[in-house]
C-alpha cells in the first residue's frame, strides 16, 4: 500500500518531525523559510494529537506520544511507536528539532539506513540537550542554535537561530 504511494510521490521519502511547544514552532519556522529545497517533506511525525492539524498541512502525520528521560515506561511505548512509524514509512531522511521522542525516531531512521539531521533547540543555551548529545553521535548533520555550542572537531555547526 505505502510503497505504491511512495513511488507516486517524491522519490526521496523526506520526514520532518518535532515534539510539542517550541520544538514544533522551530520546525515550522524552518519550513516556512526553506527558500526552495530540492525535495519537500513527504511525511510528518509529532507527539500530541492537538498538533496533528498543524502537521497535516505539511503531509500525512503520525502521532507517537510524548516522553522524557524521567518517564521510562512512556519512553518504551514511544520507542515502539517510533519503530512502527519508521517501518511503515522508511524515511530516507529525517529533519527534526527534537526532543526526546524524535531522538527515538532518529535512532530507528538510522538503523534502517536513513539520514538524520538534528537541530538542537534554541532553548538550549548553556549546553546541548541530552537527546542532542546522543543523536549527534550518528547524525549526518547536527546544528546548534547558539554560537558558543558549536564544536568544529565534533562536526556540530552553528549557522543561525530558528526562533
Partner 1 sequence: MTFVIVGSVAPFDRLIRAADALAAEYPHEHWFAQIGDGAYLPTNMEYVRFMAKPEFDLRLAGSDKLIGHAGMGTISTALGLGKPLLVMPRDPERGEHVDDHQIATAEYFAGAGHVLAAAEAHELGSAYLELSTFDPVPRTPTPAKVAQRIGQFLSTFESRRSTTRQ
Does 162 help bind partner 1 (rule: CB under 8 A)? yes
Does 80 help bind partner 1 (rule: CB under 8 A)? no
Kindly give the residue spans of alpha helices, DSSP state H, lying in 9-129: 22-32, 52-56, 72-89, 100-111
Compute how many other C-beta atoms are within 10 angstroms of the C-beta atom of residue 111. Answer: 11
Coil, strand or helix at 46: strand
Does 7 help bind partner 1 (rule: CB under 8 A)? no
Q: Give 80 or 163: the residue with its C-beta nearer to partner 1.
A: 163
Does 38 help bind partner 1 (rule: CB under 8 A)? yes
Q: Out of 6, 9, 30, 65, which residue is the one contacting partner 1 (CB under 8 A)?
A: 30
Residue entry with cell 549546553: 127
Question: Which window, 73-81, 83-91, 103-111, 138-146, contacts partner 1 (CB under 8 A)?
Answer: 138-146
The sheet with strand 14-18 has its strands ordered as 61-63, 43-46, 14-18, 93-96, 115-119, 141-144, 156-158
Q: Which residues bind partner 1 (CB under 8 A)?
A: 11-12, 14, 19-26, 29-39, 48, 50-51, 53-54, 66, 68-70, 92-93, 95, 115, 117, 119, 121-126, 129-130, 140-141, 143, 145, 157, 159-163
Amino acid at each position: 500500500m505505502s510503497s505504491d504511494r511512495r513511488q507516486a510521490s517524491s522519490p526521496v521519502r523526506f520526514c520532518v518531525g518535532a515534539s510539542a511547544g517550541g520544538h514544533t514552532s522551530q520546525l515550522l519556522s524552518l519550513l516556512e523559510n526553506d527558500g526552495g529545497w530540492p525535495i519537500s517533506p513527504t511525511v510528518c511525525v509529532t507527539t500530541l494529537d492537538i498538533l496533528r492539524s498543524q502537521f497535516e498541512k505539511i503531509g500525512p502525520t503520525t502521532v507517537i506520544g510524548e516522553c522524557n528521560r524521567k518517564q521510562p515506561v512512556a519512553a518504551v511505548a514511544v520507542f515502539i511507536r517510533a519503530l512502527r512509524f519508521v517501518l511503515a514509512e522508511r524515511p530516507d531522511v529525517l529533519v527534526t528539532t527534537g526532543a526526546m521522542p524524535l531522538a527515538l525516531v532518529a535512532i530507528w531512521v538510522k538503523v534502517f539506513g536513513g539520514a538524520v539531521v538534528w537541530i538542537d533547540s534554541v532553548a538550549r543555551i548553556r549546553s546541548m540537550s541530552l537527546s542532542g548529545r546522543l543523536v549527534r553521535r550518528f547524525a549526518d548533520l547536527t546544528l546548534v542554535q547558539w554560537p558558543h555550542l558549536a564544536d568544529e572537531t565534533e562536526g556540530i555547526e552553528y549557522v543561525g537561530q530558528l526562533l
